[in-house]
Amino acid sequence: MKYDLKKIAELKRDFKKKSVPKILLRAKGEFGDGLAMTTAFGYSGIVLMSFVKDTIPELPIYFIDTRFHFEETLKLAAKIKKEWKLNIINISTHYSEEELEKILGKEAYRTNSDLCCHYRKVEPLLRILKTKTAWLSSIRKDQSRTRAGIEVIEIDGRGTVKINPLYNWTKDQTWMYIRKYDLPYNPLHDQYYPSIGCKPCTAPIDKGGDERDGRWKGMQKLECGIHLYDDDENKREQK
């Protein structure tokens, strides 16, 4: 057991009263080297990383390289790593493309996107989380109906503590922060891509659509299994 429920309840009460920088400092004080962050360099992630830069710049920040990211995302990741001098670490599946094709078949993102996400995203993340006690994420309640119930701190169902310092931030508030501090961001956001993942599974949304409408467009799928997952994903993880 990696956590103490009373401690989590106490942290939740405390975090709800605190600003983002103070949440980060308290989290670092509580979890020390057991704390890490993950990001896919979306606009909320940029905001959270800007707070990390100013408070706990040594924090390991994991970027899951699925080998399917947009050029724009990779360029932004390189720019932030260089200019903000953050401890950004790329992680990726152990399997080669040939091995993945044998396991998943050709173009698995079309034929079996859950399994594709499991091998390319979830499994690399789980490898890291096994070495950590708490992870920071920049997800927000208003991003989608699947995220509306998130808390500032929660047990992620895999037994790791998850901290969402921006849980209550709105889209407008997040963008206002980016504009105010002139933070860099993925240029695809200006082309109706509010949420950006892998190239084959990300499309622009219609004006006024939900933030995650462009992810796995035309499928029932709304999440990759990193933040929210179902019984099928749990079974895959137990194998």
Q: Is 224 marked active-site?
A: yes
Sequence-distant (≥ 6) Cβ neighbours of residue 221 within 8 angstroms: 113, 114, 215
Query: Contacting ligand SF4 (CB under 6 A), which of 50, 66, 143, 186?
Result: 66
Q: Which is nearer to ligand SF4, 46 or 117 (CB)?
A: 117
Query: Which candidate in 117, 198, 201, 224 is catalytic?
Result: 224
In a 3-state reduction of DSSP, which class is residue 115? helix
Q: How far is the CB of 64 from ligand SF4 (least distance, A)?
A: 9
Among 36-44, 90-98, 160-168, 196-204, the segment contacting ligand SF4 (CB under 6 A):
196-204
Q: Which of 68, 95, 175, 192 binds ligand SF4 (CB under 6 A)?
A: 68
Contacts of 123 (CB under 8 A, 6+ apart): 93
Pick the closer one to ligand SF4 by CB: 117 or 163. Answer: 117
Give yes or no for residue 64 binding ligand SF4 (CB under 6 A): no
Structure-block tokens of residue 86: 């953050």
Residue 226 within binding range of ligand SF4, rule CB under 6 A: no
In angstroms, rounded to a whole number, what is the distance separating the alpha carbons of residues 107 and 200?
Answer: 9
CB 43 within 8 A of CB 178: yes
CB of 24 closer than 8 Å to CB of 53: no
Per-residue x/- mask for ligand SF4, residues 98 to 137, rule CB under 6 A? -----------x---x--xx--xx----------------
Q: How far apart are CA 143 and CA 194, in angstroms?
A: 9
First to last CA, the chain: 20
Q: Which of residues 21-60 bind ligand SF4 (CB under 6 A)?
A: none
Interacting residues with ligand SF4 (CB under 6 A): 66, 68, 109, 113, 116-117, 120-121, 197-198, 200-201, 224
